[in-house]
Amino acid sequence: MNGTSHVYDVVVLGAGPTGENLADRTSAAGLTSVIVENELLGGECSFWACEPSKALLRPVLARADARRIPGLRRAAEGPLDVPAVLAHRDKMSAYWKDDDQVDWLRSVSVDLVRGHGRLDGPRQVVVDTADGGTLRLTARHAVGVCTGTVTAFPDLPGLEQARPWTNRDATSSRHVPDRLIVVGGGVVAVEMATAWQALGSQVTMLVRGTKGLLNRMEPFAGEMVADALRAAGVDLRFGASVTGVARQDGTESPVDVQLADGESLVADEILFATGRSPHTADIGLETVGLTPGDWLTVDDSYRVTDVADGWLYGVGDVNHRALMTHQGKYQARIAGSVIGARAKGEPLNDGRWGAHASTADSAAVPQVVFTEPEVASVGLTTRDAERAGLRVDVVEYDIGRVAGAAQYADGYRGKARVLIDADRGTIVGVTFVGPGTQELLYSATVVVASEVRVDRLWHAVPAFPTISEIWLRILETYRDGVRPAT
């Protein structure tokens, strides 16, 4: 790219999955698009989150399944081949090189600028480029902020000097710590505790609250995951607050952790998985009247509501609507279509489930927690439905009673909960817990997003013997009568 200033229809800050998809969709709409990134194209998901974490977890879950299958149990009793697991993780993370993603970006006719981009007034972005120069980009129609989130650390004395792990360290570490403390009880915490315990660490989990793990999901999900973690050898403690962290000089020195009850713990590494903050502190928000470091408040087309003239869009995690990669990509598809339509003066189809409406990031958000057992959910929880004032019938079923589950593993343990809107006869929430349930999630997502009536689902015949027969058992249970949620 030559010169010190360029004009595009769309400028995108951040080349994670959200930014990549937004630039792709605006380019597909016939708009000239450029993306600015100061790290690796593919972002957190490709290199420090989704891909490496699932690469670490896949052998763990496969071994757990094998240990429940006659004829394989003995072969699966040994320890994991740690070097092979880490090598697989490296491969799935593309060895932390983004050459393939650069080639893909070029194939969809999107320009790339390497460097740190900041807003500099309406429709203006200034980039400190990787080669030490400065480049000004002007957007005719839109600037999309897709910078994601960063680890949110608590305010603890000695924390910075203790060099705590973030999710990036936990997914890219080249050694297995003998003792690992995991602070938190959410998705990152339970997944990393599952992975590193299986790889040979003695894991202690410190959860500040007392209501259990995965507290944004149905309570039974966290309870079943907690039982499995304890069975695997994890020391799981609730109501445990960290008040101080210290590490002596030297990379090999242990970390001392002080708890509110006066107890001290020692570990080789400590992972803080206690939340995320918007990655907006140094992107020039103050030049357009916004506060650096804040989440971006957006409307249902992802326009930032506090910026005049509707040129600034906040897409993905920065808007705090649904902090998951697949939801960021969904939002980018919607926002890209919106930007394209507005640029051409076309009317928007922005009704519920319309092509230009962000319905799914509130009504049908799917999520998988890759623990043992797996947790798969979409739509509302029982608590969500109660808060929304919905009258729902709650249908539960033991997945282990399904013939396909018995084929899947001896002693299969799992549970399904389905929420049915009693007034409309549609399913508004589904949670599955059990081995292999991740592959049930898309069918559940289709059911929730399509708002199909339960009486029509009788004609969706599950194959025998598969775990998907859980749908038939749920329908039979509902037909035979369930009590409304209380």
Per residue in 269-304, pLDDT (tens digit) is: 999 999 999 999 999 999 999 999 999 999 999 999
Q: What is the mean pLDDT of residues 208-227?
A: 96
Q: Is the pLDDT of residue 19 over 70?
A: yes
Question: In whole angstroms, how far apart are CA 114 and each of 39, 41, 48, 315, 332?
Answer: 8, 10, 19, 20, 21
pLDDT at 249: 72
Mean pLDDT of the region 156-172: 93
**pLDDT at res. 337:** 96
Whether residue 3 is predicted with pLDDT greater than 90 in this model: the reply is no
pLDDT above 70 for 54? yes
Q: Do 456 and 395 form a contact (C-beta atoms < 8 A)?
A: no
The predicted pLDDT at position 484 comes to 46
Pick the range with the lowest mean pLDDT from 167-181, 343-357, 375-389: 343-357
Q: What is the 3-state secondary structure (H, E, C) of the chain?
A: CCCCEEEEEEEEECCCHHHHHHHHHHHHCCCCEEEEECCCCCHHHHHHCHHHHHHHHHHHHHHHHHCCCCCCCCCCCCCCCHHHHHHHHHHHCHHHCCHHHHHHHHHCCCEEEEEEEEECCCCEEEEEECCCCEEEEEEEEEEEECCCEEECCCCCCCCHHHCCECHHHHHHCCCCCCEEEEECCCHHHHHHHHHHHHHCCEEEEEECCCCCCCCCCCHHHHHHHHHHHHHHCCEEEECCCEEEEEECCCCCCCEEEEECCCCEEEECEEEECCCEEECCCCCCHHHHCCCCCCCCCECCCCEECCCHHHCEEECHHHHCCCCCHHHHHHHHHHHHHHHHHHHCCCCCCCCCCCCCCCCHHHHCCEEEECCCCCEEEEECCHHHHHHCCCCEEEEEEEHHHCHHHHHHCCCCCCEEEEEEECCCCEEEEEEEECCCHHHHHHHHHHHHHHCCEHHHHCCCCCCCCCHHHHHHHHHHHHHCCCCECC
AA letter at 326: H
Q: Which of 150-159, 249-258, 358-367, 429-438 has the highest mean pLDDT?
A: 429-438
Residue-averaged pLDDT of the chain: 95
pLDDT of residue 2: 59
Total count of residues recorded for the chain: 486
* Separation between Cα atoms, residue 129 and residue 119, nearest integer Å: 14
pLDDT at 205 over 80: yes
pLDDT at 448: 97
Q: How large a percentage of the chain has pLDDT more than 70?
A: 98
Residue 193, pLDDT above cutoff 50: yes
pLDDT band at 482 (very low <50, low <70, confident <90, very high): low
Across 79-90, average pLDDT: 97
pLDDT at 320 over 70: yes
| Lowest-confidence pick of 250-264, 288-302, 386-400 | 250-264
Beta strand 235-238 with 5-13: parallel, antiparallel or unpaired?
A: unpaired
Q: Specify the pLDDT at position 108.
A: 96
- Residue 400 pLDDT more than 80? yes
What is the pLDDT at residue 485?
44
More confident of the two residues 134 and 482: 134
Average pLDDT over residues 81-107: 97
Residue 151 contacts residue 170 (beta carbons within 8 Å): no
Q: What is the mean pLDDT of residues 365-378?
A: 97
- Say which residue, 467 or 363, is predicted with more confidence: 467
Tell me the mean pLDDT in the region 8-32: 97
* pLDDT above 70 (res 191): yes
| Residue 105: pLDDT over 80 | yes
Asked if residue 483 has pLDDT above 70, the reply is: no
pLDDT at 481: 81
486 pLDDT above the threshold of 80: no
Retrieve residue 299's tokens: 């409307």
The pLDDT of 407-427, averaged and rounded, is 96
The arithmetic mean of pLDDT across residues 317-346, rounded, is 96
